[in-house]
Structure 1
Amino acid sequence: MADPIGEIALAAAALDRVHAAAGPYLASLADRPVLDPAAAKLLPELGGSLPDDGAGGAETVERLLRVGTAAATTSSGPRFFHFVTGGVTPAALAADWTASLLDQNAFARVSSSFAHETETVVLDWLRDLFGLPRGWGGALVASATFANFTSLGCATHWWGARHGRDTVGQGLTGMPRMPVLSGGYVHASARKALQMLGHGRDSVEVYGDGRADVGAMRRRLAELNAPAVIIGNAGEVNAGDFDPIGELADLAEEFGAWLHVDGAFGLFAALSPRTRHLTDGIDRADSIAADGHKWLNVPYESGFALVKDTARLGAAFGMPGAAYLPGPGDPSGGYALYGPESSRRARALPIWATLSAYGRNGYRQMVERHLDLAQHLARRVDEAPELERLADVPLCIVCFRARPAGVPEEALDELNRRIGAALIEDGRVYAGTTVYDGRVALRPAIVNWRTTESDIDVFVEVVRELTRRAV
């Protein structure tokens, strides 16, 4: 097969193969292992030299599906508890296929008014979902890292303006270092955002080993007597703990600081009356970063930045004029001028579809079901004599380790590393290790819409089985 124009009449054939594979694959998610180690032998089939003459679309997709449905990590299934990874709701999956089918460039109104208007609706729905006041704006981006980048880019522009400097046009050269204060929960993605913005990933001043030490921050802000940025963390990644967002908002108001909240998954605590108190004060932040491919359960890549002062987005991320492109303030412009990406797929479609399909109440019910599942897992851990829970469970993450009788304390870290590696290699369930309070531990996160109590029970039994083998 040469030029793809020869396949115009056959274009639907490749899609038919995907459609035929989708039903059996989705039906298998409830019971299939997260990873089949034996399927790795299929991966070399994807390699070899670049062909001079291709195999054609249908045959190529057939091979990709055969290898992928066997060897891919089933991260969209109910027993994937590693990182903080949601699945893909039926409505979001169908809408993501639609996004690929329509292949819109969501750069601006002029490139796709359909994509632009859908994104406008989605941002308003997300604002409403999390209880933020009208007037907030935002941008859909690829991840929480990009959401932090977008938010902290706006904070940088604000900080420069407070010094009488246009950082967009003039950069940071010759300016003092932007003070950034956070607690011990500051995430690597926020540091990476500061690194990419030119402030340096080590520019964060950390106050508190865990939750932010508000008193220490107040003393530092008084000492600085200058514009500063505060990062609050809504949902720490090892145990789901929160900084006192309301107190940080008070601090930001007292000293005229910019408050950014990293709520990658913890922002969803706002959806339930049981956990809403954890996000009290979020509406007083200046910017918020979150992920869609976590608790919203839409496909990768999906994140969003929400910003109180909408005009700040255009000021920080507007592009210099080009004869064929709309500039800031142009009616034919759009969201590429409000964030870091210019060429953008229509990632609003899966978010629009899932919010339209399940609504506020559907997401509240899902979050509360996951809260219940986390408590169930905590109870199972507490009841198991060879397991030890290391932290409270305020949200959806349960941090624990294996601690079998007769194993000395100094050997427990190595034991838990081996158990974590065995979990990945075994593949029936999936969770990795972390270090919490100086101890190696597991930290399964429950955010997948498919996960049920039986999946939690399977996870616990697999961990106990592998613990017995490891001792």
Structure 2
Amino acid sequence: MSDPLNERDRAADALEMVAGAARAYLDSLATRPVHDHAADGLLDLLDGELSERGEGTLDSVERLLRVGTGAATHSSGPRFFHFIVGGSTPAAQAGDWVTSLLDQASGLWLTSPLASRAETVVLRWLKDLFGLPASYGGVLTPSATFANLTGLACARQWWGERHGADVTADGLAGLPRMPVLAGGYIHPSSRKALQLLGCGRDSVRVLTRDDAGRADVAAMDRALAEIGGPAVIVANAGEVNSGDFDPIGELAELAERHGAWLHVDGAFGLFAAASPRLSHLVAGVERAHSVTADGHKWLNVPYESGFAFVRDPALLGRAFGAWGAPYLPAADDEHINYNCLGPESSRRARALPIWATLRAYGRQGYREMVERHHDLALRLGAAVEEAPDLELLAPVRLCVVCFRYRPPGVPEERLDELNRWIGERLVADGRVYAGTTTYRGMTALRPAIVNWRTTETDIDLLLQVIREIAAETLTRHR
């Protein structure tokens, strides 16, 4: 067996094997547990010594399918409410298979005009969907973390140029620390981006007006006046614990008044722009200098997918281009080479599933999905408010519902332990997934609804399972 050349006639057979397993697996997602812990024993089938001559294409693919369809966490199904994870629409999933089939190197026009043109098209479509100016530059990234890295790298380059320095070429040595201001909603991915950029993970000056983390705009105004020079404001469109939003319009006013850079992390919340009912939540985002979001959240395309948009397109090239390698295209190449506009060099053609899903469902399809999920969140929030043993901890703004179990007669000091136990039992139970967080000092559940498959049945089951586990938990803790 050994050399894959000996099995070149098995390539299509292997793909047919996967396609044959797909229908039964996808059909099962509506009712199967998110995770069947009894199937974890299958994971041992992945282990063992590396074979000397190999076990062959079909045998290996068959085993991977057997283990994967049994032991995977079925986050592509409708009942995964943990973190903020979408599924894959039918068009996006098929588009991703096409991506693997064609296996394009998408960083350069020379290596794949197909991938480059598709990326240009989907970036234009996404700007249209989000109401961003067509003049903004953009690039696809593996995630919102990489998208934040991209936007903040452009901010760092802009800031350095205000100090007469080219930080891409010469680094930060000799420069003061770049001032970064944010409210309490700033996400760890923005901090990680600042860490990777050499600006410091903990360099962010967080200014809040309450223990929920709402941005103190007046304090930011004063801080920017004290700085008296270029600075960066990080705004969040969609906070992970409650789904709340920073006042983007007010922060845009501050940025314009003080000559600051406004970066908007819209990992999932930017999708509010797709709905006339909800677009007020991101009012002012079109005035930001950089805007980011995740595709594998509410766009419902496969991992890994993110995107970054920058008001001044030339900054992308100054922050990431000019590789200076003779075998690569020059900076003035007539075609767009996306590996000069973002942090990656080797890039998958991740535009293809995005192209497929946007073309398949259009602006109306995404508007309807976002609004349907918002309605489901409101349904869950209303059920929580009506229940005597549940407590809604934050208003339902978009798709996240933050609440806790609070039965009568249980003292406050025991509620955190009780809710932590419920969260652990939810994951162990496996029928639905919803984890815990800490919100305003309280342990809380915070299911997020962003999967295209999720319906009222799934929301009602979530509440049912929580009640069952809560009753068992209360009995155990008495």
Classify the TM-score, shorter chain. Answer: over 0.9
Structure 1 residue 339 displacement after superposition: 0.2
Cα deviation code 1:264-310 (max 9, x no counterpart): 00001111111111111000000001000000000000000011111
Asked whether the 8 Å contact 2:34–2:77 carries over to 1, the reply is yes
Q: Is 1:273 aligned with 2:276?
A: yes
Q: Match of 1:193, as an amino acid?
A: A
Structure 1 residue 323 displacement after superposition: 1.6
Give 1:189's aligned residue: 189
Cα deviation code 1:230-278 (max 9, x no counterpart): 0111101011101110000000000000000000000011111111111
Instruction: From 245, 249, 266, give the equivalent of 2:252.
Output: 249
Root mean square deviation, CA, Å: 0.8
How far apart in 1 are the matches of 2:320 and 2:441? 40
Q: Match of 2:420, as an amino acid?
A: R
Instruction: From 437, 454, 458, give the equivalent of 2:457.
Output: 454
How far apart in 2 are the matches of 1:333 and 1:74? 37
Q: Is 1:284 aligned with 2:279?
A: no
Instruction: From 355, 375, 379, give the equivalent of 1:376.
Output: 379
Structure 2 residue runs of 5 or longer lacking an equivalent are none
Q: Match of 1:303, as an amino acid?
A: G
Give 2:427's aligned residue: 424
Q: Counterparts of 1:331-370 in structure 2 under 5 Å?
A: 331-332=334-335, 334-370=337-373
How far apart in 2 are the matches of 1:320 and 1:329? 12
Q: Match of 2:257, as an amino acid?
A: E
Q: Is 1:385 aligned with 2:375?
A: no
Q: Match of 1:379, as an amino acid?
A: A
Give 2:109's aligned residue: 109
Q: Counterparts of 1:192-271 in structure 2 under 5 Å?
A: 192-208=192-208, 209=210, 210-271=213-274
Q: Counterparts of 1:400-419 in structure 2 under 5 Å?
A: 400-419=403-422
Give 1:324's aligned residue: 327
Asked whether the 8 Å contact 1:326–1:332 carries over to 2, the reply is no
Cα deviation code 1:317-366 (max 9, x no counterpart): 00421121113222255101000000000000010000000000110001
Structure 1 residue 380 displacement after superposition: 1.5
Q: Match of 1:469, as an amino acid?
A: E
How far apart in 2 are the matches of 1:384 and 1:463? 12
How far apart in 2 are the matches of 1:274 and 1:332? 39
- Please give the secondary structure, in 2, of the residue aligned with 1:44: helix
How far apart in 2 are the matches of 1:197 and 1:110? 29
Asked whether the 8 Å contact 1:327–1:333 carries over to 2, the reply is no
- Please give the secondary structure, in 1, of the residue aligned with 2:202: helix
Structure 1 residue 38 displacement after superposition: 0.1
Give 2:437's aligned residue: 434
Asked whether the 8 Å contact 2:109–2:336 carries over to 1, the reply is yes
Q: Is 1:158 aligned with 2:161?
A: no
Q: Match of 1:84, as an amino acid?
A: I
Matched length:
471
How far apart in 1 are the matches of 2:275 and 2:73? 31
Give 2:33's aligned residue: 33
Q: Counterparts of 1:116-195 in structure 2 under 5 Å?
A: 116-195=116-195
Instruction: From 304, 307, 310, give the equivalent of 1:307.
Output: 310
Of residues 341-350 and 331-340 in structure 1, the stretch that sits farther from structure 2 once superposed is 331-340
Asked whether the 8 Å contact 2:116–2:336 carries over to 1, the reply is no
How far apart in 2 are the matches of 1:283 and 1:13? 48
Return structure 1 stretches of 4+ with deviation > 2 angstroms: none
How far apart in 2 are the matches of 1:237 and 1:107? 32
Asked whether the 8 Å contact 1:110–1:333 carries over to 2, the reply is no
How far apart in 2 are the matches of 1:385 and 1:3? 65
Q: Match of 2:427, as an amino acid?
A: I
Structure 1 residue 385 displacement after superposition: 2.1
How far apart in 1 are the matches of 2:282 and 2:137? 19
Cα deviation code 1:93-115 (max 9, x no counterpart): 00000000000000110110000
Structure 1 residue 384 displacement after superposition: 2.2
Asked whether the 8 Å contact 1:386–1:464 carries over to 2, the reply is no
How far apart in 2 are the matches of 1:59 and 1:16? 13
Give 1:86's aligned residue: 86
Percent of matched pairs sharing the same residue: 66
Structure 1 residue runs of 5 or longer lacking an equivalent are none
How far apart in 2 are the matches of 1:331 and 1:114? 16
How far apart in 1 are the matches of 2:64 and 2:87? 21
Q: Match of 1:328, as an amino acid?
A: A
- Please give the secondary structure, in 2, of the residue aligned with 1:260: strand
Give 1:44's aligned residue: 44
- Please give the secondary structure, in 1, of the residue aligned with 2:391: strand
Structure 1 residue 33 displacement after superposition: 0.2
Cα deviation code 1:146-175 (max 9, x no counterpart): 000000000000000000001011100110
Cα deviation code 1:427-455 (max 9, x no counterpart): 00001100001000000000000000010
Asked whether the 8 Å contact 1:318–1:327 carries over to 2, the reply is no
Cα deviation code 1:203-251 (max 9, x no counterpart): 1000104221110001011111010000111101011101110000000
Cα deviation code 1:394-438 (max 9, x no counterpart): 100000011112221101101111110000000000011000010
- Please give the secondary structure, in 1, of the residue aligned with 2:98: helix
When normalised by structure 1's length, the TM-score is 0.99
- Please give the secondary structure, in 2, of the residue aligned with 1:181: strand
Q: Match of 1:23, as an amino acid?
A: R
Q: Match of 1:230, as an amino acid?
A: I
How far apart in 2 are the matches of 1:57 and 1:23? 21
Asked whether the 8 Å contact 2:248–2:284 carries over to 1, the reply is yes
Q: Match of 1:42, as an amino acid?
A: L
How far apart in 2 are the matches of 1:32 and 1:15? 24
How far apart in 1 are the matches of 2:4 and 2:331? 38
When normalised by structure 2's length, the TM-score is 0.98
How far apart in 1 are the matches of 2:360 and 2:159? 40
